[in-house]
Structure 1
Amino acid sequence: MNEQLKQTIQALQGGVTNLDGGAAASNVTSWHQTLSGVPGAETLVDHLAQLKAALEGGDLDGAAALLPGLSSETERLASQAPAADQDGLRQLADLLRG
């Protein structure tokens, strides 16, 4: 599993409500950059952009409302990811679902 995915899973294991907003926005920005231009990830990239805007604007309710869609897209893309990352992406999807 790649390091970025490991770090994101570790950060979310305490629950999304326990995340520092600045750290969450930084993590979302990093994923947005990583996934921009990846074929099939356009919807996920759009969700990440919306999540970043909500976090940076302090709209925690709006950010929380985006997590189910982000979870679904992450799970959908897991089967297309490298084999080493598929289980981690499914775990991430579960954590985002809360």
Structure 2
Amino acid sequence: MRDEAVDLDTLTAVVPPADAGRADTCSCGTRRTLLRHYLVTPCAGRALAKLKAAHPDEYDRYLTELRAEAITAAEAAWTRHCAGDHS
């Protein structure tokens, strides 16, 4: 079963309000932000995978354009580097 496509232009983030009464660090030393980071970080990759599945032609077009731009930038940077620009 496939998940339904989500319109990312209208998606609103769900961020719980700050609660002064909640602990930010466990007695073991683990911080709430670290746990949240581990769970939230993969969301961008999963969203991209869903977007790619929902709009493969558009994704491929963007990927081709971005790769071409990156290759052009890399060649220009390499030329400058070989000319002595090591910054």
Q: Same fold (TM over 0.5)?
A: no
Larger CA Rg, structure 1 vs 2: 2
Between Structure 1 and Structure 2, the one with more helix by share is 1
TM-score, normalisation: structure 2: 0.28
Which is bigger in relative contact order (C-alpha 8 A, separation at least 6)? 1
